[in-house]
Amino acid sequence: MPGTWYTSDPHIHHKLVAGIRGFASVDDHDGEIIKRWNKKVAPEDTVWVLGDIGMGNVDSYLEMMFCLNGVKHLISGNHDEVWPGHRDSHKHYAKWLQVFETIQPFARRRINGHDVLLSHFPYGTETEHHAEGRYMQYRLRDEGCLLLHGHTHGTERMHGHQIHVGLDAWDLAPVNEGTIGKLIVG
């Protein structure tokens, strides 16, 4: 039976992020992401990617996404040219839909009988790495529903009723829905 996975912030071809993650080069970083992703995710699995795919040459990093297993759905992040916070985001959807089955700014899922929201951004500014709490107009309002998010690049996994699914919190690999389900009920 195919599995479901969640992740965010691969930042393919992103020199600064590769360095912060301890890699000597972008190629080493990107190669390790591919290796760890494909070790966990099977080609028939579903992967929800919560934004910030890459940096630099869009065609190049979207091409690299084809090397990653799974049927991919994108919740766009602020570094993605299809993110609705960008003025001309609508002009880029056709290209991105060659890689992703769906593209949306947020979504709602059910895990272990619990409604869960998906967004690139966390609810509030307490986990934000920018003190001014940027992009507030694009964040979901916290009305008590569990939120899976990325964006922060921290190593924390759960804070309050939010779960950070970014690569930095999960050993540079996607996290399985079963693991998320255990966090919800644990």
Cβ contacts of 153 within 8 Å, gap of 6 or more: 9, 17, 20, 129, 166, 168
* Counted domains in the chain: 1
Is 90 exceeded by the pLDDT of residue 185?
Answer: no
The pLDDT, as a whole number, for residue 133 is 65
The pLDDT, as a whole number, for residue 131 is 45
Identify which of 124, 12, 28 has the alpha carbon closest to the alpha carbon of residue 79. 12
Q: Do 170 and 158 contact (CB within 8 A), yes or no?
A: no
The pLDDT, as a whole number, for residue 129 is 52
CATH number at residue 98: 3.60.21.10
First to last CA, the chain: 24
In sequence order, what DSSP letters do the residues of 127-171 get, joined into one string? T-SSTT-TTGGGSPP-SS-EEEE-SS--S--EETTEEE-BGGGTT
Domain range holding 49? Answer: 4-185
Per-residue model confidence as pLDDT tens digits over 48-104: 999 999 999 999 999 999 999 999 999 999 999 999 999 999 999 999 999 999 999
**Range in 15-19, 27-31, 58-62, 131-135 the model is least confident about:** 131-135
Per-residue model confidence as pLDDT tens digits over 113-163: 999 999 999 997 554 554 456 778 888 988 999 999 999 988 999 988 999
